[in-house]
Chains A and B, each alone.
Chain A
Amino acid sequence: MSAPSVSEPAAVAARGGILDRESALAKMMIAPAILYIVAMIGVPFVLAVLYSLSDATTGDPSLKFVGLRNFAAALADPVFRLSLWNTVFFTLASQCIVVLLSRLLATALLKNFRGKWLVRFLIMLPWTAPISLGTIGWLWMLDSIFSPIDWVLRYVGLLGVPGALLGAGTNLYYLGVPGLAISSIILVDVWRILPLATVIQLAGLSSIPKDLMEAAEVDGATPWRRTLMITIPLTLPITSIAFLFGVVFTFTDLVVVYVLTRGGPVHMTQVLSSWTFFKGIEGGDLAQGAAISLFMFPVLAAVAILILRMARRTEVV
């Protein structure tokens, strides 16, 4: 009896085993990424949950469970409540400004003009520099003594002379006056996220079919109407993604507040991530720090789900 004939690829598959089975190979190839996510995100997250339910300290990380005591203590702490409010406020305020500015920049960058590459380069620059380095630069810009902004204001007579618009003092003390310190944090958050949002918006605007705009133009739609009826609806999913990415980055950011104000003056710029660090690491109360950090989780989880939904909608578009 002759052996059944087998086609060549099937024979190779049979010989090769796992390496030639598409489904197994796909799992094998994706495994390092999954392992990485589990090790770098999953394990610390589970650890944070365990710590938050314990009385662990930096000096004694053993777990003795105390239930929800740390969450109750956090909620009773006025600094925590202020940090929570600041985190939400800084995030929403900065990202609203980012969406607006990035749309303007993206629209401008769609046009052809001389020196466009330089403008693009300058816009992208904050994104290429390490956040801490850029923020240290801002720390000097906003310094109480050496601020170059104050120097310019003094030079043009807006500051430092009797009757000057911004006062007779030599400096404005950007990081020492609550209102100015809050504005400074928002400003640096905007500066940091704007490049990413601009690129995302640019991609969204570029993807609008030209014939659609031309048809609207032929039908007599004004630029304003075209923006309202075509551009905004079609780019809404991708604009939302830019907004939500910005929310994630800003909501979890420690560097800007830590470098600029360390949460001061008098906790007026304290945010959840910085308060987690001061309480949990510098103060030694690891469990309390973990509990504070977990208050960020519901917001971040909701944002992540929204991003995934938006991304799917963008695919349809």
Chain B
Amino acid sequence: MAKRSLLTRRDFIKAAGIGAVTMGVAPTIFLPRQAHGASKELKILVWSHFVPRFDKEWYDGYVQKWGQANGVKVTVDHINLAEIPSRTAAEISAGQGHDLIEWIAPPSQFEPSVLDLGDVVKDAERRYGKQHPLCRASSYNPNTKKFYSFCPGWTIDPGCYRKSLWEKAGKGNGPETWEDLITYGGKIKRDQGIQLGIGLSQELDSNMAARGLLWSFDTSIQDKKENVVLNNPKTIEAVGYMARLFKEAMVPEVFAWTAVSNNQALIAGRASYILNSISAYRSAQQQVPEIAKDIFFTPALKGPRGTRFNSEHVIYCYVVPKYSKNVDSAKKFLLDLVGNYDQAMHKSELYNSPAFFHTPIPSGDRGYPAVKGAKKLIDLHNAWFSDDPFALPGEAKGKLAVLKDAEKWSANLGYPGPANPAEGEVFATFVLPNMMANAARGMAPGMAVEQATLLTRTIFAKWRKKGLVGGKV
């Protein structure tokens, strides 16, 4: 008689089937009861902040405390900034996911799938005063009259220069105009062998630098009414300038620029000037203090007619997808976040600036040394930028003072018009940095502008058809 096996095929299939069914059904039996038993919930998706202690020492803890105080079970997920667009698209497409999603660029293309947060803005302005115009322009669509996101803060994008190098070149206080970059930056490259670092690549910082240059040359992609106005003599002048700047003061590394390249170049002592937030300087303070002590700041550089603008470096925009079942909690969270933005400013080591400068500072221990006489965020902003609480011992005083009036020379994506999906796609497909790079690589500036305009017009026409962008041309 054949020996009977311990487990027949039939037994195996039955066992596997029962196991699979059990695994599949069990959660539906048990988990809903637990979920129903819990109180309100709020799921938040945010980027991993450039300043690591911001998340670890403040945001995550603040969120949990807020949840306890408001009877809400809060979950925070941090992701790399590069993953935000694809993750948001996936959640919107699936119709489920986080209740609040934080973007660091205007998420205008998601307008049809997110809630109008106009009531939150109204409430915030009633409590905390006017929202900064660049924050409003980064979250409001004037064509549909909808706040597709809520912006509680932003980041300044100053110029950072190495004082010792500029002193030797005869311009100790750093550049004041774009032309200074060619005159003195070129001299530094020739005499001291250190180049400038302004990206001409397919990435974020290059995009911002190109916009800042255009604005300072009194031109832009679109006008106030969202008509494409890129192809004009001032743009050609700006593009021609960039070609000269590359030739005189830069090297081909700027064509391979990444989001961290300017930080790395500055810290490695291989850049005399970069356009970046203060994060490069903060990194240098920790990694190479001697370089950090030599880093100083400039506001936006003046163009040929005296105009000066830089792009905001980061704009914090929260969206509430339409699928969210926790809208009230999400809105309350946003309002309370504005009310506690003093801590966001301090724990980000002044990387974050507020959208509501006139928010009163809450009383009590705020987790940082109290600033005498400070009643509103604007007072903290001025005091901290005048006397940096994170300066290294022996570092020059008042290095960040030039950032105090940054709101006057900072502009939103889309300036002088609002941010919109067309501007977003022009940004995402690197039209402007490539326009600059083409000229730097030898193309006639007029031709480079013409090519860029063709791409831009196609993009604008497409989004205009969807009713999300104004203008006619």
Contact = CB atoms under 8 A, between A and B. Distances in A.
Nearest to A172: B252
Interface in B252-296: 252-256, 258, 261, 264-265, 268, 270
A175 interface: yes
Interface stretch (A191-199, A274-282, A308-316): A274-282
B251 interface: yes
Contacts of B258: 262
Contacts, number: 132
Contact of A173 (B252, B424, B425): B252
B93 interface: yes
A284 B425 contact: yes
Interface in B194-252: 200-203, 251-252
Contacts of A265: 200-202, 255-256, 437, 441
Interface string A194-231: 00000000000000000000000000000000000000
Interface in B425-466: 425, 428-430, 434, 437-438, 441, 451, 455, 458-459, 462, 465-466
Contacts of A177: 252, 255
A43 to B, nearest CB: 12
A20 B425 contact: no
Interface stretch (B82-90, B117-125, B336-344, B346-354): B82-90
Contacts of A264: 201-202, 255-256, 430, 434, 437
A129 B21 CA distance: 35
A261 B113 CA distance: 32
Interface string A39-65: 000000000000000010111110000
A145 B265 contact: yes
B422 to A, nearest CB: 10
Contacts of B202: 261-265, 267
Given A77-B455, A264-B201, A265-B202, 6 more contacts: A57-B112, A58-B88, A77-B458, A176-B201, A264-B437, A284-B425
B10 interface: yes
A262 B252 contact: no
Given A173-B253, A266-B438, A279 B429 contact: yes
Contact of B425 (A55, A175, A266, A285): A285
A235 B417 CA distance: 64
13 contacts: A57-B421, A60-B466, A144-B256, A174-B256, A261-B256, A264-B430, A264-B434, A265-B201, A265-B202, A266-B434, A282-B428, A283-B425, A283-B428
Interface string A159-192: 0000000000101011111000100000000000
Query: Taking chain A's interface residues, is the majority helix, strand, or loop, or is none over half, making it mixed?
Result: loop
A277 B83 CA distance: 12
Interface band, chain A: 35 or more
A145 B255 contact: no
B110 interface: yes
B109 interface: yes
Contact of A144 (B253, B425, B441): B253
A298 interface: no
A281 B434 contact: no
A73 interface: yes
Contacts of B465: 55
A111 B251 CA distance: 48
B18 interface: no
A286 interface: yes
B253 A61 contact: no
B13 A176 contact: no
Which 5 residue pairs of A and B lie closest in terms of their CB atoms, listed nearest first? A284-B109, A144-B253, A176-B256, A59-B110, A175-B256
B89 A60 contact: no
A79 interface: yes
